[in-house]
Amino acid sequence: MIGCYDFCGHYEWTFAWLERAGGPELLRDYWREAIALDSQRHAAELIQREGIEGMKKYWGHTLVEESPSLGFTITAAVDRFRIDMHDCPSKGFLVRNGLEQHRDYCDHCMGWVGPMMRDAGYVVDHEHNHRGQCWWEYRAPSAPPAAAAAGANDVRARPEWLAADAKLDRYEGATSPDEKRS
Amino acid sequence: MSSSTALPYTDTKPQGSADFYFATNATFRFLLRRLGAEGWRSYLEQLGRGYFAPVNRQWREGGLGAVARYWREFFAAEPGAVVDVEERPDRVEVHVRECPAIKHLRAAAREIVPEYCQHCYWLGCARAGEAGLTMRLHGGNGACRHTFARAGAALPPQVRQDIVEVRS
C-alpha cells in the first residue's frame, strides 16, 4: 500500500517518473489536473468562494496538520496573504531522508498553487532557497508586488536564507512553474 | 536505514496526514486517464522496485520476520488503520480490517478510483518479487488480506476477481 506517512517521498519520486515518462508537460499537467483540480479541489473551492479569508482557512488548517511544530508564519492583509515557511515539513522530510529524484521538488507548490490562484483571480510572488525555506504572497494582479508585510516573520531575514549553498528561485506575479526566474 | 525502525523513511510526526490520500487517489486517476492501465501498472511496479528498494532489501535479508515488522510499523503510522499482522512459518498475512485510505476518502465524499485496491497488488508483487517472495491480495473496498509468502508456500494463483472494485 502507498501510505500517507512518507507521502512526500513517493510524491517526489513520482515527479521524476512523470518527467521521464512524458516530459515536463506531463508533470505540469499532473500538478494542475491531479493536484490543483482533483486532490486539492477543497482548497480551490474555498479560495474561489472566499478569497483571502479562504486562504486563511485553508492554510491555517493544512499547515498546522503538516507542521505541528509551526515552522511557518501566516500574515494576512486586506489585499494579500503571505506565508513565510521557516522549516518546510515536506522538503525537510526529503532532506532528512536523503531523497532527491527530481531536479526541483519545490516547484510542485507553484505547479498546483499557481493555476489554482489564477482561477481564483490572484497572482503569486514567491522565492524558495531549496533548503526548506520560502515565502509566498498571493495578491490581485493589480496590487503592488511583494510588500514587506511579514515584518519580523520574514524568512529572508534568517541568516541561512542566503547561506553559501543556497540557490534562490524567484517568481513575480506568476501563476505557473514555467515563470521561474532563477 | 535505522535499526530502530523498519520504515525506510521516517518523519518527525508519529503519523501522516490523511488528506494526502486525496493526492494518491488523484494520482491514480490521472495516470489511468493519461497513460492507461498498463502505464499505471508500470508506474506502480517501478515505484515498488525503486522507491521501496530499502524495504525490499530488508525483507530479502530479514525474511518473513522483517516483513511482519514492517507492516506493523507501516500501519501504525497510517491514521485510522485497523490492521492485524499474522506471522506463520511460510507466510505473513496482513489483515486489513479498516483500510485507512478508503475510510478517509469515503468520509470526505471523494470519488474513489474503482481500481484503487489493485495498486496494493501491483506494488506488493513488485516488492515481494525483489525480496524473493510471492504476494497475493484478497478483498478490497475497505477490507482485505495481503499475503507475503516464501516460494515454497505454494499459494494458489492470484485471481483478478479476488480484488474487489471500490465503491465511492
The residues spanned by each domain of chain B are 20-162
**A63, A65, A71, A75 alpha-carbon torsion, rounded to 10°:** 30
* pLDDT value of position B31: 98
Distance, in Å, from the CA atom of B114 to the CA atom of B106, rounded to the nearest integer, reads: 12
* Contact criterion met (CB < 8 Å) for A5 and B15: yes
Distance separating alpha carbons of residues A55 and A70, to the nearest angstrom: 17
**Beta strands A169-174 and A123-128, pairing class:** antiparallel
The three grid cell numbers given for residue A20, joined into one nine-digit string: 521521464
Q: Is 0.90 topped by the overall pTM? A: yes
Task: Say yes or no to pLDDT of B1 above 50.
Answer: no
Asked if pLDDT for residue B78 goes beyond 90, the answer is yes
Q: What residue of A is the nearest CA neighbor of B23?
A: A39
How large is the angle between the packed helices A52-66 and A41-50, nearest 10 degrees? 150
May I ask the CATH architecture of the domain A7-179? 2-Layer Sandwich (3.30)
Q: Provide the 10 A C-beta neighbour count for residue A122.
A: 25
Residues of B in contact with A35 (CB under 8 A): 23, 26
pLDDT in tens, A97-143: 999 999 999 999 999 999 999 999 999 999 999 999 999 999 999 99
Residue B64 C-alpha cell reads as: 518473513
Chain-chain contact of A30 with B12 (C-beta, under 8 angstroms): no
Phi then psi dihedrals of residue A171, to 5 deg = -130, 145
Chain B nearest C-alpha distance from A181 (Å): 28
Q: Does A62 touch chain B (CB under 8 A)?
A: yes
Comparing CB atoms, the residue among B29, B123, B124 nearest residue A34 is: B29
Q: Give the other-Cβ count within 10 Å of A133's Cβ.
A: 25
Report the distance separating Cα A68 and Cα A89, nearest Å: 9
CA atoms of B120 and B140, how far apart (whole Å): 9
The cell numbers describing A164, all together, are 553559501
Partners of A173 in beta bridges: none
The 3-state DSSP class for residue B9 equals: coil
Residue A25 has pLDDT above 60, yes or no: yes
d(CA A6, CA A8): 6
Q: Is there a contact between B12 and A69 if contact means CB atoms under 8 Å apart?
A: yes
Q: How far is A142 from chain B (nearest CA, A)?
A: 32
ipTM (interface predicted TM): 0.95
| pLDDT score, position B101 | 98
Q: How many angstroms separate the Cα of A167 from the Cα of each of A13, A137, B147?
A: 22, 20, 47
**CATH hierarchy code of domain B20-162:** 3.30.1380
A34 touches chain B (CB under 8 A): yes
Question: How is chain A split among helix, strand and coil, in percent rounded to 5?
Answer: 50, 15, 30
Q: What is the pLDDT of residues B44-63, one digit of tens each?
A: 999 999 999 999 999 999 99
In chain A, residues with a C-beta closer than 8 Å to the C-beta of B48 are none
